[in-house]
Amino acid sequence: MSRSIEISENQRKFLLESLKHGFRLTDRPFDHVRDISLYLSPTEYGYVEVSWGKTKLACRVTATVTTPYEDRPFEGIFTINSEISTMASMRFDTSRSNEEILIARIIEKAVRRSNSLDLESLCIIAGEKVWEITVDLNYLNYDGNFIDVGCFAVMLALHHFKKPDISINGNSIVVHDINERQPVPLSILHIPICLTYSFYNLTDKESNIKGEDADEICLLDADLLEELNRDGSLVITLNKNRELIQLSKNGGLPISAQQFLELTFKSMKTIDQLTDLIKTKIKEHEELRYKTENFKLLEASADR
């Protein structure tokens, strides 16, 4: 296996021809996300495995008690580690490539800087002890679109995770084992979902007037082949409340402002779908756990 992925001219032309005729090589609609399969660990809170088509990754959330930053004594600490190893693909060499840095930065902007995790709820004793939440993203297989899958996996793992319960005695604390006392879920303020659109110019000339009849198309959730042949990309991050979290269009094929607004509107459907997927999966998992671990016996209240 060589270190760089080489696409033959034939493959490239074939892809662009089929796009011209209105279908993707995997016969997916242009604005559909791939098939998603999720795995939530039944034994460990905070470990999930997410696959969008063949792109696969594992995400784990861990929490430790630590001292807060001196200038922010009321806030917890939240870090996301997303190093890509050569396991995902030989292009992600051991030295941090530009692409890897871009992926890490966008996910950080989307999740951390948008305050999706309420940091003040992580405070235990102001100025002395806070929770430090660490998210580790391990990319296993690369078939395009690490950004969307990564952000989705982080939000899913954060919802799945529960931190140990704590009792405070004056200035000292006791951290209870998760088997001793029911652990506590995190306080998540909103669920950012990233969507990556890829643009293709199907003719040789770039048209100055953009519009529907121009030979430029836009795909959602590109796989590896599509990603390597695209002419430009746009990453939009929104949440279910129709709030724009972050936006990234780094050069590449220009699009009109009109098209951009339309894309944003169209994305809402997918955003809703993905947000609901997270919520239903978590709820399903909770119910399953409730049944298998007999939580009913631990309840102190009675059903009316």
Partner 1 sequence: MAFQVQMSVLDNSDGSAELIIGNTKVIASVSGPIEPKQRQELPNQASLEIIIRPAKGLSTTREKLLEDKLRALLQSIIIRYKYPRQLISIVVQFLVTDEDPKFTANELNAAINCCYFALIDADIALYSSFASVVSCITENKLIQNPTGKELSQSDSHHVVCFNIQEGKADKILLLESQGEFVQEELFNLLSESVSNAEELHTLQRKYLKEKIDQDYIWK
Partner 2 sequence: MSSADLKQVSFPPDVLARIAPDVSLERHLSLGIRPNLRNFTEFNSIDIKSNNQQLQENYNNIFASSIVKSGPTTIINTLTLGVVENYGQDKDKYGTVYPVVEILRGRMGGAPTDEEMILGQDLYETIYHSKLIPNESLQVKPIGLGIKEEDGETIYYPDLQEADYIPQSEHEKSYSFVILSSIKVYSKHTSTNSLFDLCYLSCVDALQKLKLPRLYIMDSIQTKVSVKSKKSTTRGLISTNKAELNIDTANKQHYYSIELNIKEGSISSNYGIVKSPDNNDESILLTDLQGQEEESAILSRMSIITNKTGSINRISLINGGDGDISLELLRDAIEISKRRSKEGVM
Angle between helix 146-160 and 257-292 (nearest 10): 40
Q: Which is nearer to partner 2, 173 or 214 (CB)?
A: 173
Q: Which is nearer to partner 2, 178 or 188 (CB)?
A: 178
For β-strands 47-52 and 36-40, DSSP reports them as antiparallel
85-144 residues in contact with partner 2 (CB under 8 A) are 126-128
Q: Which is nearer to partner 1, 99 or 243 (CB)?
A: 99
Q: How far is the CB of 94 from partner 2 (least distance, A)?
A: 14
What span, in angstroms and rounded, lies between the C-alpha atoms of 78 and 116?
11
Q: How far is the CB of 76 from partner 2 (least distance, A)?
A: 13
Burial 205-240 (b: 16+ CB within 10 A, else e): eeeeebeeebebebbbbbbbbbbbbbebbbbbbbbb
Quick one: which segment of 15-23, 26-34, 64-72, 196-204 binds partner 2 (CB under 8 A)?
Answer: 64-72
Q: How far is the CB of 83 from partner 1 (least distance, A)?
A: 7
Q: Which is nearer to partner 2, 57 or 130 (CB)?
A: 130
Return the one option of partner 1, partner 2, none that residue 3 interacts with (CB less than 5 to 8 A, by type).
Answer: partner 1
Say how many residues touch partner 2, by CB under 8 A: 19
What span, in angstroms and rounded, lies between the C-alpha atoms of 229 and 253?
12
Q: How far is the CB of 171 from partner 2 (least distance, A)?
A: 5
Contact 270, 236 (CB under 8 A): no
Tokens representing 67 are 């001292």
Q: Which is nearer to partner 2, 180 or 276 (CB)?
A: 180
Close Cβ partners of 26 (under 8 Å, ≥ 6 residues apart): 34, 53, 223
What span, in angstroms and rounded, lies between the C-alpha atoms of 205 and 216?
10
Q: Which is nearer to partner 2, 125 or 140 (CB)?
A: 125
Q: How far is the CB of 131 from partner 2 (least distance, A)?
A: 12
Q: Which residues sit opposite 136 in a β-bridge?
A: 60, 81
Residues at the site binding partner 1, with contacts judged by CB under 8 A: 1-3, 41, 44, 47, 49, 54, 58, 60, 62, 81, 83, 85-90, 94, 134, 136, 138, 140-143
Return the one option of partner 2, partner 1, none that residue 258 interacts with (CB less than 5 to 8 A, by type).
Answer: none
Contact 222, 145 (CB under 8 A): yes
> Which H or E element spans position 148?
helix 146-160
Among candidates 128, 219, 216, which has minimal Cα distance to 171? Answer: 128
167-186 residues in contact with partner 2 (CB under 8 A) are 169-175, 177
Residues that bind partner 2 (CB under 8 A): 65, 70-75, 126-128, 164, 169-175, 177
